[in-house]
Structure 1
């Protein structure tokens, strides 16, 4: 389909790398400054569809009890899944009929069915509203937007060359050896046997049967609201719903005298939201070392062996020259690689990576995939990759998929 011209403007897809200041661009778009090249004028009305917009509406709802979106009169925005939140927000913004709707990484953290529903909504509105889509992954660019741009080194937007080769680290480096060994009685790390979970009388999970063994590489997938987070919190010991059920963690039945800390010390965990936990004063090296000490930041003097091992991890990531830089001065891709290393430095029996590619551009996503494959292949840790997406190049061995039913989600191995 050809690009459409609306009120003198044209749909535009802008491909951004993680080194580009996206927040400044969004601010300029909303304030209609330095946007002549995109056809936005002082008279244009502009709305933003992004995760940030969702958070603003949630804050409004928390303060006043109603956020202004009509659908939330029936069900609060806070009680909806992330996919449902995005669907009702998009419908609300479309009813406002702005001249321009800026779409910021619109498909992040959404299952395939929700992505397709949003694409249909956007396509149906494309004859009356001009879209400016900001995307980090080429696969996310909307098919009906023919005008695709990317920022140049000179600060102007130029046509996006989709055939540009993606760069990735190819250095052969050895994964640093563990500094400690875990005393585990068997290779079986996690076992769910006919586990059920309900909240306030609503069944969330039913008949869950799943075993994770040492060294296995799993993907956990399922649509928004299917119970993936509930399963993860049961593995990490944070969910009381595991008590009284046939749930075994590291050889012990849940509720048999273990502590939540004895479970957590055996689990490495990453979610992109962890990026916000590290203050300005934390250097990259300090952040890596804190993984040995289970601290957010470094408040204990590390041993020489821990420092040496952390530097070996930075060498593997080709980041040793940035060891003393503040963590928040690194690029988003560098931060993500470092957070994975921090979760892995102790070689935990299980490494959980929850949406580790969210917000990354194609080049950095490729680097992270290479690192995950390396850790799965060259260590004895079981890797649990959590995502809706099936990523090319990711060498998962098994998939545990949650399937929603009227009586809660069931799981199947595929």
Structure 2
């Protein structure tokens, strides 16, 4: 009896045996073997974020296996117990997945949201509140541990329960997605770069949060960077060249021992020849002040988002905007980018012209190149990557007009600079998230605007892509005298050209 009990304890949760995966004619994985046993929590790292993400998709059964087998032992009892209830059941019922992007819907669950909607109070009512969203997510199973009260406490969401989900900051949305995943009361929790978008304080607490989740009986797997592996993750899988290069204990893992985790992949070297053809120039902007704000206050109902914020940015200055999740950073940027109608009721001047003096939104946007996690979230994914980049010339979410051959060549030059010109004909939805982000970065830069607003621009990029982009931004700002407003929770992501800082705390400039 003791031998039988020991065997049951050691039975794997899920295995992959000699798996081969082919997607769109390309082999993604081959000779892939993996064994996940109880008590293990896995960190998946690799030579690219895309490869890590695709492995999670394989574990979930979202990428079909062409050869080999995935065996989900952890779901055996569940499937047997529900075999005769007349409904379709899968081991995926017992997996909760936290993706890099949310998929929030309107209250009637029939429409997606658009980017500017989050700043229009008349549209906010179409979305669920945080509490409504969580209540609609709960799945109760036998011996369920997680409920709404517990996840609100764990992720410190109590103060947000009445807030519309489309008004949440990027970091707040990430916390809500994690809370919703727990309310499925899964056996396995899979997370794709869950720490991205979280402020420093929340990241510091994340390991403790994962420990509490693991103590509740949930086994955890997360795709992450080699530099951000919480202590609770006791196993590390290193992916390289379509399979696992090695699987090691967390205590013995050292990223420096795996040079491919640090080497620069093809397509990220800054080609000076290509760079010279991007339409950049050293012409100094004709504007004296890019931004002038005086005692700006933004409220939604009784909730004060910005409280008497004053800020001046002169032409050619490079600023970093800092603050915790929910500090008001996105709202501040929306006032500059022409997306927030409350700009008209405040003392704001952009490009030496007071808001509300007869200027159109398009006159403002023509001087701005912009990217943010929220723009990425809401950007239409049906157009080609080339069309996405070209749309930056016209400040539209997608391309809806005929372009000249010169404009097309310019867009391809920018894509080549980022190493993504081979994706020009693919739909945005067909390429990995980090490549989508590079398309949107090229879109922001293509018209060499007077003002660059880059909100968490490196989110989802590989380490090497991040360093490349930082170098490119610094070179552009020095060459073309662009004004820069740069947002990041990571100091190492801020380009060295930045020499001014503004910090928000609970809507107040400090």
TM over 0.5: yes
Q: Which residue in the other structure is 1:111 paired with?
A: 199
d(CA) in 2 for partners of 1:145, 1:329: 31
Give 1:266's match in structure 2, choosing from 351, 367, 370: 367
Note the 1:146-295 alignment, pairs <5 A.
Answer: 146-156=234-244, 158-159=246-247, 162-163=255-256, 164=259, 165-167=262-264, 168-173=268-273, 174-176=275-277, 178=279, 186-272=287-373, 273-274=375-376, 277-280=379-382, 282-284=384-386, 286-295=387-396
Q: Is the 8 A contact 1:288 1:338 kept in 2?
A: yes
Give 1:48's match in structure 2, choosing from 96, 100, 103: 96
Q: Report which of the two structures shows the higher radius of gyration computed on alpha carbons.
A: 2
TM score, norm. by length of structure 2: 0.67
d(CA) in 1 for partners of 2:440, 2:97: 28
Residue 187 of structure 1: how far off its partner (Å): 2.5
* Residues 1:18 and 2:60 aligned together: no
* Residues 1:70 and 2:148 aligned together: yes
d(CA) in 2 for partners of 1:253, 1:291: 24
d(CA) in 1 for partners of 2:179, 2:429: 35
Deviations 1:177-213 (A, max 9, x none): 6489999653311011222222212222123121122
Pair 1:295–1:200, CA change in 2 (3 A): closer
Q: CA RMSD in A?
A: 3.9
Pair 1:143–1:373, CA change in 2 (3 A): farther
d(CA) in 2 for partners of 1:266, 1:185: 12
d(CA) in 1 for partners of 2:55, 2:281: 45
Tell me the SS of whatever aligns to 1:376. Answer: helix
Q: Is the 8 A contact 2:285 2:315 kept in 1?
A: no
d(CA) in 2 for partners of 1:96, 1:294: 40
Deviations 1:83-120 (A, max 9, x none): 45554664676577644322332112111122223322
Q: Is the 8 A contact 1:333 1:364 kept in 2?
A: no
Unmatched tracts of structure 1, length 5 or more: none
Pair 1:58–1:278, CA change in 2 (3 A): closer
Residue 50 of structure 1: how far off its partner (Å): 1.4
Q: Which residue in the other structure is 2:477 paired with?
A: 376
Q: Which residue in the other structure is 1:28 paired with?
A: 59
Q: Is the 8 A contact 2:488 2:494 kept in 1?
A: no
Tell me the SS of whatever aligns to 2:458. Answer: coil
Q: Is the 8 A contact 1:280 1:328 kept in 2?
A: yes
Pair 1:207–1:278, CA change in 2 (3 A): closer
Pair 1:84–1:239, CA change in 2 (3 A): closer
Deviations 1:265-285 (A, max 9, x none): 11111124437635555252x
The runs of at least 4 consecutive aligned structure 1 residues that moved more than 6 Å come to 56-61, 179-184
Q: Is the 8 A contact 2:298 2:305 kept in 1?
A: yes
Residue 341 of structure 1: how far off its partner (Å): 2.0
Pair 1:82–1:279, CA change in 2 (3 A): closer
* Residues 1:133 and 2:133 aligned together: no
TM score, norm. by length of structure 1: 0.81
Residue 227 of structure 1: how far off its partner (Å): 0.8
Tell me the SS of whatever aligns to 1:359. Answer: coil
Residue 47 of structure 1: how far off its partner (Å): 3.7
Unmatched tracts of structure 2, length 5 or more: 1-9, 14-36, 79-90, 110-126, 139-146, 249-253
Pair 1:310–1:220, CA change in 2 (3 A): same
Q: Which residue in the other structure is 1:339 paired with?
A: 440
d(CA) in 2 for partners of 1:346, 1:96: 45
Q: Is the 8 A contact 1:243 1:255 kept in 2?
A: yes
d(CA) in 2 for partners of 1:70, 1:349: 47
d(CA) in 1 for partners of 2:435, 2:290: 30
Q: Is the 8 A contact 1:112 1:223 kept in 2?
A: yes
